[in-house]
Structure 1
Amino acid sequence: MDKIPAIMLETTTRMAVAASVITAGFALTLVGGCGTIGSSRNKEGAATDIEARTVKPDDPLARPIQVAWTSARASYCGFIFDPGQLRANYLASESRAGTPPAQMQKIERAYDYTRQSVIDTIKDNLSYCNKERTAAIRADLTRYLAGDYAPHAKVAR
């Protein structure tokens, strides 16, 4: 009779270890989806100020990301402009350029996601709006308000 409890204990231990391994593997799979700019930039836009300013010009979402980045920074730094009108004008220019409806949806999501994400990442930085940064924002905002949406926003110096 002493052998039966030992066998049951061994089986129970193996099952507990197997369950732990499976649970750990599942947790790693879930965490593996989390990442930063290099491996998994959110395909909906830029999640941070740093991601937005380092987006590559050949990225299909470079324009909406950088226009939204500038809009968020300009709003935060107190520039007087209509962010909603900038968004509408930008989206209208993309539509006039013949962007397909499915791509327009991606562009809109990228714009909205990036603008909100950038605001969220800079809102607690009291020294964000320094002289060099506001000069770079002013240059980009002026260009965008004039209808030039080329993806080459200035990095704050």
Structure 2
Amino acid sequence: MGWNTSVLFVRDRTADEAVDELAITEFSGELVEADQATSALKPDALYAADSGGWAQVWNPRMDVVMGWEPTGPADALVVFFSSVSSTYGFSLFTNGERTRYYVFAEGVAVEDEGTPLPVEAEIAVPTWGPDEDFLWSIITAVTGLRYDEDLRYRVYPV
């Protein structure tokens, strides 16, 4: 199974604050497991949680998170996984400024702005190019987080 979703990680924000920045404010009262939040099983919602000093907001439709830009100083990472089209990418914001933007499709970089992160040189890339494992290495290097199947996410209908 491939990943087809996007996620915003914002440091020093609560999940509610991060969702508010996306102009979505109504928490449904429902909590879901990580496998639902990080997949397209129910794409008509955002899924938000707090973990390790970072808010994370998953957006299976990839229509809300992808255009996020900080409104002030913020450290953030926006990541998208599209295994259907073999397109993956991330934007890193440091103190509110985009410092790295990298998108690859079919294993070839189509956007490559900013200085590569040190971890990028350390990741063993398969012959077919960067993939989900590559992105999870970036996520872990930037946020210190790993996929946590026990984390519960708040559901925000969109």
Decide which structure has greater strand share.
2
Decide which structure has greater helix share.
1
TM-score (norm 2): 0.22
TM-score (norm 1): 0.22
